[in-house]
Structure 1
């Protein structure tokens, strides 16, 4: 069977998290062939993979969201849109869930479009923005609205006009642009479409846009609603929607998913991969770790602030932040500047490393994200009997405290998002209590061994592929 995995901003360019999940899935299914449809921000990322592809990954189809910068166009054309096409475009920029995606795809891929830039220089596009200006943005400069809407639509239209590899099943690992590609494949080829949503993509984009400096205040709602609308494309067209935990399912239902269509399949890990990890250093230093990409959504600054408070109270602590910094070098520099400003002496940024070489000597781990799905980092820590202190995002509370009727005790502590003082207090508590660290670490190991196995995770997806792949 040939399966097309559609990923945005992750595999194979970015290590960890969703990328590790994709890599593990392919390795576990040598009986299937996989095509990777990889969506990245910039063409300069082309071919710069962080993974050695498995033998059954037969193709990587790359798409770059900045490709629209290279298009040229003539202005003033009239496309003579039908009412359905015009209304779908209006719904798309209005943030409505009433987009007729099949009609929109047909329009964008039709021969009427010589290129995308030409449409965004057309009279039809001008009319579209004028309608938006009159109905929703009456006090916003028209030229700003005109260029803002264009910057939203350009990468989307380029994506829709692109080639879609042929496969037996299409499997998007997020909504957003990846979800649009999946929906487009469904419309073109009428093949089974699966969505696995690790975190809630539209919520994550909302959080980023609220904080973003590049979006003017009066356009933030325009961008936020736009990403919710994009997500709706695959919510309405997917044959199977998979999420990782109950709270994610509740949010998906709030956003318009049919609850009967959603299946919960947790992430899984093979604890046997970690059985050789042992402590190699015997001293009184408490070593704290973080397995994390250095990007704003992980809120590394909060972690740094918390550790700086701990460092003032305890002399024998070290923090190892283990993960790549290349994805957002500007944010990495800001983190380094914060370390210097707080005069922290015992924080080490390791860069991309084999975490198994560090975990044996780590006493416990931290996660300070403002948004997560079901972090593999926590499962990896639990597989080594390491407790966690985490912000209350995604399924972190469920992982650390257990689901209802879970027989195991807490495997760490949960703190509010951005509350570095409370995180510092719990760090000190664990640093001073070795027996508590050991007890919580054992609880985490028992929980991951019982409820989050790689065997169960892979078996579930094999069954889904087999079920959908034999229908047609």
Structure 2
């Protein structure tokens, strides 16, 4: 079987999280061929993979959202759009549920739209914005509306114009642009479509936009509704929607995904991989570890503020932030500046490391994200018998405190998002009680060992692929 995985902003350009999940899926199913349809932000990422690609990964199709910068275009063309085509474009921009994705795909992929940038420099686009200005945005500067909508829809239009590789099954690993590409693949090739949502993409974009300085206040709703519209395309088109835990399923249903489509397949970890970890040689130092990428959604700044309080209370404590620092260089520099401003002495940024070489030496693990799915970092930490302090996002609470019928016990503490004082208080409690650390570490290990097996995760997807796509590919 040939399976096309559609990924946005992750594999093969980014380490950890969803990327690790994709790599595991491909590696553990050598009986299938895989294609990666990779949507990246910038063309400069092209070919810069963070992973050694498995032999059964036969193609990486790379699409970059800044490709429009390199298109030649002319201003002022007239496309002669029909009323139906105009209404569909307005529905996309305004977030109306009346959008017909099949008709939109056919329009944007027609010969009429050979150059996306040229359409967005056309008289027809000007007319659309003029209509929106008159109907909804009469008090907003016209030029701001013109350029805002252009920047909003241009990457999507560009992505829709690309050819779709042929496969037996299409599997998007988020909504957003990847979800629309999945919906397009089903429209073009009439093959089964799966969606796996790790975190809720539209909610994550909403959080980012609310906080963003680059979006004017009066355009925030426009952007937010737009991303919800993109997500709804694949909720409607997917044959099956997979999520990782109960709360995610509830949110998907709230957002309009039919409940009967949704199944839960949790992430999994191989317990045996963490059985012989090397412990710390110096037991006089308390070590806190964070397995995390240095990006805003992980809220490293709250982590730093928390540790600033801890360092004032305990002299023999260190924080190891283990993860790549080059994904968002500006954010990394801001974190370093915060460390310096607060006068914190014992934070170590390790950069990208083999987590197994470090995690055994940690006493406590920490995650301060403002949004998550079901973090592999927590699964890895619990498999290592380490207690965790994490924010109450995604599936963190379920992993650490357990769900209904789970009697393994508490594996750490759950804190409020961005509440660095609460986070610090929980860590201090663990720092001051070795027996509590050992008990919670053991509880987490037993939970992961029994409820989050890597073999169960792989078997779940293997059976799902076979149910929708037929027999396995044979070399």
**Is this a same-fold pair by TM over 0.5?**
yes
Matches of 2:280 and 2:147, distance apart in 1: 58
Contact 2:280–2:362 (CA<8 Å) still a contact in 1?
no
- Which residue in 2 is equivalent to 1:401? 401
SS in 2 for 1:301: helix
Counterpart of 1:276? 276
Task: Please report how far the alpha carbon of residue 75 of structure 1 lies from its aligned counterpart in structure 2 after TM superposition.
Answer: 2.5
Partner residue in 1 for 2:315: 315
Matching of residues 25-104 of structure 1 within 5 Å:
25-104=25-104
1:136 alignment counterpart = 136
2-structure distance, mates of 1:443, 1:240: 33
Write the distance in 2 (CA, Å) between the matches of 1:470 and 1:44.
Answer: 38
Q: C-alpha distance in 1, partners of 2:336/2:286?
A: 22
Taking the TM superposition and a 5 Å limit, the aligned residue runs for 1:4-23 are 4-23=4-23
Shift of 1:405: 1.6
Counterpart residue number, 1:353: 353
Matches within 5 A, 1:410-425: 410-425=410-425
Query: 1:279-318 alignment to 2 at 5 Å?
Result: 279-318=279-318
Give the superposition deviation at 1:377.
0.3
1:372 corresponding residue in structure 2: 372
Taking only aligned residues, the RMSD between alpha carbons, in angstroms, comes to: 1.1
Q: CA deviation at 1:84?
A: 2.8
The TM-score normalised by the length of structure 2 is: 0.98
Question: Is residue 431 from structure 1 mapped to residue 423 from structure 2 by the alignment?
Answer: no
Q: What corresponds to 1:363 in structure 2?
A: 363
3-state DSSP class of the match of 1:366?
strand
Partner of 1:162: 162
- Tell me whether 4-13 or 86-95 shows the greater mean CA deviation: 86-95
CA distance in 2, matches of 1:97, 1:296: 31
SS of residue matched to 1:427: helix
Structure-1 separation of matches of 2:349 and 2:358: 13
Write the distance in 2 (CA, Å) between the matches of 1:408 and 1:292: 26
Q: Do the aligned partners of 1:84 and 1:103 also contact (CA within 8 Å) in 2?
A: no
- Number of the residue aligned with 1:222: 222
Q: Which runs of 5+ in 2 are unaligned?
A: none
Q: CA deviation at 1:380?
A: 0.1
Which runs of structure 2 are paired with 1:308-347 in the superposition (5 Å)? 308-347=308-347
- Distance in 1 (CA, whole Å) between partners of 2:261 and 2:407 is 30
- The alignment partner of 2:464 has SS state of helix
**CA deviation profile, 1:389-425 (whole Å, cap 9, x unmatched):** 0000001111100001211110000000000000011
Question: How far apart in 2 are the matches of 1:250 and 1:83?
Answer: 38
Shift, 1:82, TM fit: 2.8
Q: What's the CA shift for 1:144?
A: 0.8
Task: Say which SS state the counterpart of residue 112 (structure 1) adopts.
Answer: helix
Q: What residue number does 1:386 align with?
A: 386
Between 1:270-279 and 1:408-417, the stretch displaced more is 270-279
Alpha carbons 1:289, 1:321 under 8 Å: kept: yes
Mapped contact 1:391–1:416 kept (Cα < 8 A): yes
Question: Structure 2: how far apart are the matches of 1:87 and 1:450?
Answer: 52
Aligned to 2:127: 127
Shift of residue 99, structure 1, vs aligned partner? 1.2
Instruction: Give the Å deviation of 1:138.
Output: 1.3
Check the 8 A contact 2:6/2:171 in 1, yes or no.
yes
Structure 1 residue runs of 4+, over 3 Å off?
A: none
| 1:84/1:100 contact within 8 Å kept | no
Cα deviation code 1:221-262 (max 9, x no counterpart)? 111111111111111101110011111111111111000111
Q: Deviations over 1:355-406 (max 9, x none)?
A: 0000111011000000000000000000010010000000111110000121
Q: 1:107 aligns to what?
A: 107
Query: What corresponds to 1:188 in structure 2?
Result: 188
Task: Give the corresponding residue for 2:261.
Answer: 261
